[in-house]
Structures are given as structure tokens and as C-alpha cells.
Structure 1
Amino acid sequence: MKASPPTPKMYYGWIVVAITFVTLLVSAGIRSIPSIFMLPFEKEFGWSRGGISSVVSIGIFLYGLIGPFSAALLERFGIRRVMVASLAVLAVSLSITPLMKHLWQFELLWGLVAGLGTGMMANVLGVTVTNHWFVKRRGLVVGILTASAATGQLLFLPLLAKITVELGWRYSVYTAVAVIAVLLIVVAIWMRNHPYDAGVAPYGEQELVKPAPFRGNLFLTPLQALRSGLKNRTFWLLAGTFFFCGFSTNGLIGTHLIPACGDHGIPEVMAAGLLALMGLFDLFGTTLSGWLSDRYDSRWLLFWYYGLRGLSLLFLPYALNASATSLMIFTVFYGLDWIATVPPTVKLATKEFGKEKAGMIFGWVVVSHQIGASVAAYGAGTLRDLLGSYTVPFIAAGFVCLFAALMAIRIAKVASASASAPAA
């Protein structure tokens, strides 16, 4: 069923992108909250750094694991319904959090419920929105939506850290719940699932096409996508590099930079400001990465991103012990590269597996990312308890990023080989 849609004054897809951007922004802000609460929870409840890190680790893992199934749910039930349900789950989970008294309750509310809720609004949501609404400028849109995760830290961390220090961590939770409530209303009213629902064609096309209904099984289809990915060497290399990406970003720096700064006498609000500044620079860096991925070889982009990130992490232990200037240099340099790896990784997955499978395939790549992040979140906290500092985790993350840069070169060789092979 095809028709020529009227030319709108403003393409509605940009409104959808804006709503998705804010949703991912809020989701990222919520995921970053435990890093602010780590020190207050140690003081109030007497929980160890490793115990709190285990909760963060579970949440990070589930955030990634739900991604492929989220892609299927988004296709089956529509983007708007899934977003509304996820926001409602988060609101309930956060509302109960101030009543908790034991670590297992924190594990249930943040490790399990919040992990699943934010997982439904992960990078897979951005990929699905982009593939539905855009044919042209996909790399740029993916870059914009990916950057929203860093922007969430930019807006939320300093504010919530200040509220936590001045009023207590419970008031930070109440603030997050209020933001979610407003966002839920916005999504319910203005979000649209597909260009057809708004009476427009995908950006870059001229014909309005009714979307084909999702016919797969909600649980088997993602597993079938994984099965096809496991047979593809490029998938393994993408998943491997993304494991190290998660290990070196939200698992390590996103979770432990604030307590690491606390170990060196840097106030919590100031440390949160450093993460926020990283978010500001990543907003620019990841958006630029999306623009670059539309124009240059994504494999070589990944090589440079991982290599430069590794060097910055090797510099971090020195920066923490040196001066404010050195720490600011790390913040700017690392921030530009925080999650700039996502747009080229999405492009490689889409090119290798096709637009129809790209969401679920990338979802499984994100699972690898979150496993790496989960390992770093728990491992770094445990090593800090054993060794008294974060030096070893930071150095290890630097070297694994350099290894990921070498893997990116291998992706180039495999992709070019497969591209030159005759079609079956």
C-alpha cells in the first residue's frame, strides 16, 4: 500500500527524535544515579563498595540483556507503548527506593527492576527509531540519540549530586520520579511509532509505505538473530570490541570515577561535574562521530576511537595524583570519545545484517557491551576494597582499549573479504 504524502512544513520525524532524545537522556541519568549514592550508602547503611558495585553490575548486565528482546517488543507492540510501560516501571521502582533498608532490596529495585526498565530504553530504541523514520542521515541521527546518554549525565549528575549533598539522597530520587512523570505524559501524547502514523514518508523517501506487521516470536526471533550472528565473524569482532567499550566506559568510569575522586579528596559535587563535563564533550564527539560515519570507513573510526580512549585511561591515574589541570585534560579528551563508538558500530551491523535485523543484532552486540561494563563495575569495586585504589582497574582498561583498536583493524579485513566474495 503506497501513496504520495503531502509535504509537511516540518518533518514529524524530528519531533520523534527529540522525544526519543529526552527519553534516552532521562534513562541515562537514572542509570548514573548509583554512582552518586555509593558514598552516602556506605555511610548510612554500612554497605561495602563491592556490595554496592554488585548491584550496579546486575543492573548494567540486565540493561544490555533486555536489548535484543526490546527490539522485538518495539516492533510488535509499537515504540510508544513500550516507552510508556518502561517509564511507568521506572517510576514505581524509584518511588519505592527511599523505603529500602537492606542491600537485597537495593539489588531488587535497581539491579533487577531498574535494569530491565532502562534496558527497554537503551540504544536499541534509538536504532529502531532511526531505521523507521530515516533513510538519509541515519548516521547523524544515531549519533544524536547516542549522545543523549552523555547528555543525561550532563544534566542530571551535578543537580542530583548537589541535592544529595544538601538534602539527602532520597530527595534526589523524588526529583527523578517527578521528571519521569512529566516525560511519560509527553511520550503518551506526542510519540509516534512509524512515519505512516503521522502521514509522512521516511526521511529521504517520497512514498508513504504502511509498515509490515511483526510476525516473529517475541522470544525466538531475537534468539534466531543471535544464532545467525554467531555464525558471522564480523559479529564476533563487533561484540568483542563493544565488550571492551562497556568495560572502559559506563562500567568503570561511569560507576567509579566519583568514588575514585573521593579517594583523592575531590568533593562529590565537583567529581559529578567532571562526569557532566565529559557528557558535554561527548555530546559533541558522538554527534560528530555520527556525521563521520556517514562519510568515512567506520572500521578505521573505531580504530582511532578505541586507541585514543586507551591512551587517556593510561593517563588517568597520573591525572588523579597530579593536578586539577591534568584531570581536566583527561576529562575533555576522554569525554570526546565516551560513546563515539556507537554510530560506526551501528552502521557496520546494519551494513552486514540488513536494516530488518539491525536492531536485534545490535541489541546482542550491546549485550556484550553491558557484560563488559558489568565485569568492570563489580571488578573495580572489589579491587578497590582489596588494593585501596583504582589504579589497577584504570590501567587494565587502558590496555584492553588498545587491544580493541587492533580488533577494529581486523573487522576491516573481514568485512572487505566478505564484501569481495561472490553472492551465494
Structure 2
Amino acid sequence: MPADVRRADRPRQTRPAFDRVPPLSARPATRAGAGRVLVATFVTLGLTYGFWYSYAVFLVAFLREFGWSRSVVAGAFSLLVMVHGLSGPLLGWLVERFGPRAVIAAGGGVLAGALLLAAHIAAVWHLYVTIGVLAALGVSGAGWVPSVVLIRGWFPASVGTAIGVVSAGIGVGIFALVPFAQLLIDGFGRRWALRALAVLTAVWIIPATLLLVRAAPPAAPAGPPGSPGPAPATSRPHWTLRTVVRTWRFWGTGAVFFAGSAATQMLLVHQVAYLVDHGVP
């Protein structure tokens, strides 16, 4: 048989999937994509929770404009906190169904729309619907749950560090947005302050999420022992919703988070009003 025929009949050998090295040109693109995700999430969390903590400033403005009782105005914030917390399971399902990118963009749109509507409230129920329900859903959609899923997908080997970096955006957002909201209220009034925050939210969160954020690259398959590829995962029990709710660790962790949030949020919403009552301008 001729040599060229033997070579044609010989089965073609391919390298195993785990042994295929992506081209060097793809690696900088992946690093750049991860960096864009990190920056976009950092700023998005700052804007989202910056509004959350700015409510203490708007509470004083609502009291002065409408003359409502402090408990009524603070009640809208309590509803916001409750809706934000209870919507967590729904947000988790939406993230699994549509991906974190779509959920964050939709949440930014809902939050911007809620702030625009809040600029035109004239009754207590308006406040509870726009801030307590719609803004809470917007914060949930653009906030913590989808952001953690997004960051975990992009930084599987350094998820703790990456989440620490983006969560610092919350502190930066509070530091910048709360005094900014107060300056807007003093200079242009409560209505225009809410409109400005709505525009800022829409202009950043929606375009940044759609243009800068991409789905996380697929995880590299594990190689055989001794290969340079990722090591196979160790054998660990697989937690499901049914199994986790039966453990005291789950309920204990939940109780700690509930108590901590209740104590801090209960004081947070009244801080600015307290300072005003004691003569701080």
C-alpha cells in the first residue's frame, strides 16, 4: 500500500481538551474583560447602595415638605429593607434563568424609574410604592445577589479578593452620594435631587452593564493527575436547598445577619434627623 494512502487511513490524533492552551492573544482579552467587570460592578454597587443610605437625607426633606410623622416616613424605608431581603430567592432564580448581566441592567432600569416616580409623590402611599417596593426591587436587581454571582464566575480562583474589591464600592458610594444628595436638595430641592439620581443611575448602570459586562468564560476542565491543568475538585457533600434548611448553621447564620441588619438599619435611617434635631445644619 502506498505511504500516502496509509497516512490518510491512519486515525487522526487530537490533543485532549485539557491540554489545549488558548492562544496568547485571548489571554489579555480575558484579563481586560475581568477588569471591566470589576470596575463596572464597583461603581454600580456604589450607586445602588449609595441611594439606599441617602434615604436618611431624603427623610428630613419629606418631613419638611409634607409634615408627615417621622414613623410614617421611616416606615417606607422599613418596607424597602424588607422587600429587598425577601426578594433574594426570586433574584437568585432570575439570575440562574437569565444571567446576572440581564438582571443587573433590568434592576438599574427599575431603580431609575422608581426614583423618577418618587420625585412626584404627593401622598403617603406614593412613597411606600415608589421607595418601599419599586426602589427596593431595583436595588435588589442591581445589587448584591447578581453581583456576587457575576464576580464568582469571573474570578473563581480569587473570589474572596474580588468580592472585597467590588464591595468597597458600597463604602465609596455612601461616602460620595450621601453628601451629594444633600447638596442637590439644598441647591435644587428634593424633587430635582431625585431626578438627578435617577438620571445618574440610568446613565451608568444600564449602559455599563450592557457594554462592559460579559458572561464569565467557561471554567477550564480538570486534567488528569500530574497534568498542568486545574486539579480535580475534591469530594465534598453537595448542598441543596432541601439539605441546607435542615442545618442549624444555615439558620444561625441567617439569625446573625438578621440581627446585625436590624440593629444597623434601624439606627441608620434616623441619623440625619437626629443631627438636625440637635442643631447640626
TM-score bracket, shorter-length normalisation: 0.7 to 0.9
Task: Give the aligned partner of residue 262 of structure 1.
Answer: 276
Please tell me whether residue 168 in structure 1 is matched to residue 185 in structure 2.
no
Structure 1 Cα separation of the partners of residues 191 and 229 of structure 2? 51
Deviations 1:35-77 (A, max 9, x none): 1111111111111110011100011111111122212211210
1:31-180 to 2 correspondences below 5 Å: 31-180=52-201
Task: Give the aligned partner of residue 8 of structure 2.
Answer: none
Task: Give the aligned partner of residue 215 of structure 2.
Answer: 193
Please tell me whether residue 244 in structure 1 is matched to residue 265 in structure 2.
no
Kept in 1: contact 2:51–2:178 (CA 8 A): no
Structure 2 Cα separation of the partners of residues 125 and 17 of structure 1? 13
Structure 1 Cα separation of the partners of residues 208 and 160 of structure 2? 26
Query: When the two structures are aligned, how many residues end up with a matched partner?
Result: 244
- Cα offset for 1:147? 2.2
Kept in 1: contact 2:120–2:191 (CA 8 A): no
Report the CA distance shift for 1:16/1:56 in structure 2 as closer, same or farther (over 3 A).
Answer: same
Q: Which amino acid aligns with 1:57?
A: S
Kept in 2: contact 1:74–1:82 (CA 8 A): yes
Larger helix proportion of the pair: 1
Of 39, 45, 57, 1:18 maps to: 39
Kept in 2: contact 1:79–1:192 (CA 8 A): no
Task: Give the aligned partner of residue 5 of structure 1.
Answer: 22
Deviations 1:374-405 (A, max 9, x none): xxxxxxxxxxxxxxxxxxxxxxxxxxxxxxxx
Kept in 2: contact 1:32–1:153 (CA 8 A): yes
Kept in 2: contact 1:5–1:201 (CA 8 A): no
TM-score w.r.t. structure 1 length? 0.54
Deviations 1:206-249 (A, max 9, x none): 67xxxxxxxxxxxxxxxx72x43321111111111111220233
Q: Which amino acid aligns with 2:151?
A: T
Kept in 1: contact 2:100–2:147 (CA 8 A): no
Task: Give the aligned partner of residue 398 of structure 1.
Answer: none
- Cα offset for 1:193? 2.0
Kept in 2: contact 1:163–1:171 (CA 8 A): yes
Kept in 2: contact 1:16–1:192 (CA 8 A): yes
Task: Kindly report the root-mean-square deviation, in angstroms, between the aligned alpha carbons of the 2 structures.
Answer: 2.2
Structure 1 Cα separation of the partners of residues 220 and 135 of structure 2? 35
- Cα offset for 1:135? 2.3
Report the CA distance shift for 1:175/1:206 in structure 2 as closer, same or farther (over 3 A).
Answer: farther
Kept in 2: contact 1:65–1:119 (CA 8 A): no
- Cα offset for 1:252? 2.8
- Cα offset for 1:32? 2.1
Kept in 1: contact 2:88–2:140 (CA 8 A): yes
Structure 2 Cα separation of the partners of residues 55 and 33 of structure 1? 13
Structure 2 Cα separation of the partners of residues 49 and 169 of structure 1? 17
Structure 2 Cα separation of the partners of residues 234 and 166 of structure 1? 50
- Cα offset for 1:130? 2.6
Question: How many percent of aligned residue pairs carry the same amino acid?
Answer: 27
1:274-353 to 2 correspondences below 5 Å: none
Q: Which amino acid aligns with 1:127?
A: V
Kept in 2: contact 1:4–1:206 (CA 8 A): no
Kept in 2: contact 1:82–1:120 (CA 8 A): yes
Structure 2 Cα separation of the partners of residues 52 and 229 of structure 1? 37
Structure 1: runs of 5 or more not aligned? 208-223, 268-424
Q: Which amino acid aligns with 1:264?
A: H
- Cα offset for 1:155? 1.4
Kept in 1: contact 2:106–2:141 (CA 8 A): no
Structure 1 Cα separation of the partners of residues 247 and 197 of structure 2? 41
Structure 2: runs of 5 or more not aligned? 1-16, 222-227, 231-239
Q: Which amino acid aligns with 1:195?
A: P
Kept in 2: contact 1:66–1:120 (CA 8 A): no
